[in-house]
């Protein structure tokens, strides 16, 4: 897979600054990924986000997009705005849909995914061999689908 130019990923409030890319790791069943800082227009970091390119069973539970906004910047929909920019990048990679997941008790993240008009597919039981279950003890995840 070829990583694309990401310099255009911005809107009137934020820009995504590429921090790194990661090639696929077939042994770990990982797909290629981008990692960005979520920044204000002056370049001040406010959080981060990731976009994973491709489809596999792990992404149903782990999601194509991950995000976190620093506490001082929460409440302004920056995560949702970053996701909207990442949707455009995913389309450029020929993706038709994305999954974004969150812990069932993570109400701010669930509200972000609802704000983005995602469809809650299910609250899924994580497989016994799932990395999130093994590392954190999580047993369930909310799976939201976004048709691009």
CA separation for the pair 103, 88 (Å, rounded): 25
What φ, ψ does residue 123 adopt, rounded to 5°? -100, 105
Residue spans of the domains in the chain: they are: 14-147
| Prediction pTM value | 0.95
Cβ within 8 Å of residue 88, ≥6 positions away: 9
d(CA 23, CA 43): 26
Phi, psi of 77 (to 5 degrees): 65, 25
Check: CB of residue 32 under 8 Å from CB of residue 54: yes
The fold adopted by the segment(s) 14-147 is: Aminopeptidase (3.40.630)
90 φ, ψ (degrees, to nearest 5): -60, -40
What angle separates helix 107-115 from helix 78-92, to the nearest 10 degrees? 50
| CA nearest neighbour of 65 among 52, 77, 55 | 52
Segment holding 34, helix H or strand E: strand 33-40
**pLDDT, tens digit only, all 148 positions of the chain:** 999 999 999 999 999 999 999 999 999 889 999 999 999 999 999 999 999 999 998 899 999 999 999 999 999 999 999 999 999 999 999 999 999 999 999 999 999 999 999 999 999 999 998 888 888 989 999 999 999 9
């Amino acid at each position: 897979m070829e990583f694309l130019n990401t310099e255009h990923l911005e809107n009137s409030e934020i820009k995504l600054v590429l921090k790194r890319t990661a090639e696929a790791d077939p042994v770990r069943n990982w797909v290629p990924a981008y990692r960005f800082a979520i920044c204000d227009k002056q370049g001040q970091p406010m959080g981060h986000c990731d976009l994973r390119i491709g489809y596999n069973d792990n992404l149903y539970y782990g999601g194509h997009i991950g995000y976190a906004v620093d506490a001082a910047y929460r409440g302004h929909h920056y995560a949702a705005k970053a996701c909207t920019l990442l949707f455009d990048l995913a389309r450029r990679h020929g993706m038709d849909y994305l999954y974004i997941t969150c812990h069932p008790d993570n109400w701010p993240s669930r509200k972000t995914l609802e704000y983005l008009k995602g469809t809650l597919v299910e609250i899924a039981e994580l497989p016994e061999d799932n990395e999130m279950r093994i590392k954190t003890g999580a047993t369930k995840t909310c799976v939201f689908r976004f048709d691009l």
